[in-house]
Amino acid sequence: MDDIRFKIAEAARMAGVSASTLRLWETQELIEPLRTPSGQRLYDRALVERLKTIAWLRSEKGLNPAAIRQSLRDEDAADEAGFAEGEADGGSEQAEMPVGLKIRRLRRDAGKTLEAVAQATGVSVSQLSTFERTSQGLSFTALHGVAAFLGTTLASLSGQEQGQGGESLIRDGRWPTWPTTTSGVKVQVLAEGRNQMECNRFQLAPGASSEGAYQHEGEEFIHVLSGSLEIILDGDRFFELHAGDSFYFESRRPHSWHNSFDGETVLLWINTPATF
């Protein structure tokens, strides 16, 4: 199955190298593994194939880390060209484009290099490169920062803003779901279209979090349906929300959050205007 995740020992064995080598490649910004909420490294099939490519470039071509990074970037560029050609021939629509590829196109349209985005957002070049290729590997906060730097929002990237708005009916349990980019965080859309309010249902696995603070224009409202959530404002104001609790705050205040319940936490989360 495409959603299989491998631990570092399994991924290393599949790539024909040691686990310590994978850690070294990570420090050399050749690869950025996925992470569980607890920080455990995981690798999907696409990342394992990436590992095999790196191993081949190193052993058969004798390339150093800098040359391998450039080779991988060239490969990513070729992949994007192929995707664009498929679109021109009647392939996937923009709405179906993977989030990582949307980020790559926005970055290139803006004339920004991976290094420029990394410097502006604090996300490593390897993380950005991996995310553009696999749509995995960025925390919720990091993705928000990258989107904001490129002049877009997470809602827009997810396709939530499709349609003209006005009215939206979504039946119980049939919520459109944002592409999963962060482990343990599932965002389901409760109202589609270009609306003044972004209405979402968050499902947070145990330990899931924003992995840092972020901020944007607007106002936010949270209602906890089940479980509990800790939200931190301004870095030093802590609020523990339990099932049935509601919370409002201004989005421009730096805020972070995590599931403080030992099971799944489900939230109703509304942002207005549509800046999230």
Q: What is the CATH number of the domain that holds 212?
A: 2.60.120.10
Structural domains counted in the chain: 2
CATH code, domain with 95? 1.10.1660.10
Regarding whether 192 and 78 lie in a shared domain, the answer is: no
Residue numbers of the domain that contains 75: 8-138
- 181: nearest Cα among 199, 208, 220: 208
154 within 8 A of 143, measured Cβ to Cβ: yes
- CA–CA separation, 54 and 125 (whole Å): 16
How far apart CA 43 and CA 274 sit, in angstroms, is: 33
The sign one gets for the Cα dihedral 122, 48, 105, 208 is negative
Q: Which of 100, 5, 101, 104 is nearest to 48 (CA)?
A: 5
pLDDT over 60 at 2, yes or no: no
What average pLDDT does the chain have? Answer: 84
Residue 57 maps to a domain: yes
Q: Going by C-beta distance under 8 Å and a sequence separation of 6 or more, which residues neighbour residue 143?
A: 131, 154, 181, 182
170 and 229 inside one domain: yes
Asked whether residue 262 is domain-assigned, the answer is yes
- 81, 128: one domain: yes
pLDDT at 240: 97
List the one residue out of 226, 222, 232, 168 whose CA is nearest residue 195: 168
What is the side-by-side order of every strand in the sheet holding 228-233? 237-242, 228-233, 255-259
Query: Is 89 a domain residue?
Result: yes
Radius of gyration over every alpha carbon of the chain, rounded to an integer in angstroms: 20
Torsion angle of alpha carbons 220, 226, 232, 236, nearest 10°? 130
Q: Is 63 helix (H, G, I), strand (E, B) or coil?
A: coil
Q: Does residue 234 lie in a domain region?
A: yes
Same domain for 224 and 171: yes
Q: Which residue has the higher pLDDT, 185 or 5?
A: 185
Q: Is residue 155 part of a domain?
A: no
Largest Cα separation within the chain, whole Å, is 60
What is the number of helices (H) and of strands (E) in the chain?
9, 10
Residues 117, 24, single domain; the answer is yes
pLDDT at 162 over 70: no
Distance CA 23, CA 33 (A): 10
The reported pTM is 0.63
- Is residue 244, in this structure, part of any structural domain at all? yes
Over range 87-98, report the average pLDDT. 54
Mean pLDDT along residues 99-104: 87
